[in-house]
Structures are given as structure tokens and as C-alpha cells.
């Protein structure tokens, strides 16, 4: 079983920046894909960004050019740098490994508000 420990998040004004990090531990062999999803109240959980072990990235259209995902293979850690935040980015952000059928973190709240 994989455990995911998230950190970061919080309250920021529109236009501000936040960074998230997530470290995986436990029954890890070789994690192929790590990423971040988010879920706002009343909405379905959606992919924000993910990165394969080889470095291929996928971003939601709504965050392209503003968010950057990175990964430390050795530390089994994934990061999400979020810039130019908008109120619509407000959500609970979840760390994920190996896609929707994989493992999930507990989630961290990101609130963008003036």
C-alpha cells in the first residue's frame, strides 16, 4: 500500500502563488505516474496535472501556462507550482499515483480569494 503525504496549500489572493508537494512512501516499486487532481464543491474530481516517470506531462487546459508540475524520482515526490491563481482554482487538491485507480492523498485545501 502506498501512503501519500501532502503539504502546501492555503489561502492566497488572486494573482498569487502557492506550491504543493507530495511524498509517496510504503509499498513502492517503481511509480509510473504521479499527479494532482482537484475537486471543487459540487464538481467532479478533475485532473490538474500529471507526470510520467519519463517526464511526460499532462495539464488541464485551464491551468496551462500557470501551473508547473515537477517530480523527484529518487525521493518519490511530486510538486505543483501554481502561479497567477484565480478564484476558480479554489478546490481541494489531491495527490495521486498511478491514475484514478491508484492511490490518493487526503487532500489539501487551496483557496483563492481577496
pLDDT tens, position by position, 8-41: 999 999 999 999 999 999 877 788 999 999 999 9
Beta bridge partners of 26: 2
What is the number of other CB atoms lying within 10 angstroms of the CB of residue 62?
13
113 phi and psi angles, rounded to 5 deg: -160, 145
Region 86-103 average pLDDT: 94
Laid out side by side, the sheet with 67-72 consists of 2-8, 18-26, 77-82, 67-72
Would the pLDDT of 105 be above 80?
Answer: yes
pLDDT at position 29, please? 73
Amino acid at each position: 500500500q502506498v501512503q501519500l503525504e501532502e503539504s502546501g496549500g492555503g489561502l492566497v489572493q488572486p494573482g498569487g502563488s502557492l506550491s504543493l508537494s507530495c511524498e509517496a512512501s510504503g509499498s513502492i516499486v517503481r511509480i509510473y505516474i504521479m499527479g494532482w487532481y482537484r475537486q471543487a464543491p459540487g464538481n467532479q474530481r478533475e485532473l490538474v496535472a500529471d507526470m510520467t516517470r519519463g517526464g511526460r506531462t499532462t495539464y488541464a487546459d485551464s491551468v496551462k501556462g500557470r501551473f508547473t508540475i515537477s517530480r523527484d524520482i529518487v525521493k518519490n515526490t511530486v510538486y505543483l507550482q501554481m502561479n497567477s491563481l484565480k478564484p476558480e482554482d479554489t478546490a481541494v487538491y489531491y495527490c495521486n499515483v498511478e491514475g484514478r485507480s491508484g492511490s490518493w492523498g487526503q487532500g489539501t485545501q487551496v483557496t483563492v480569494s481577496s
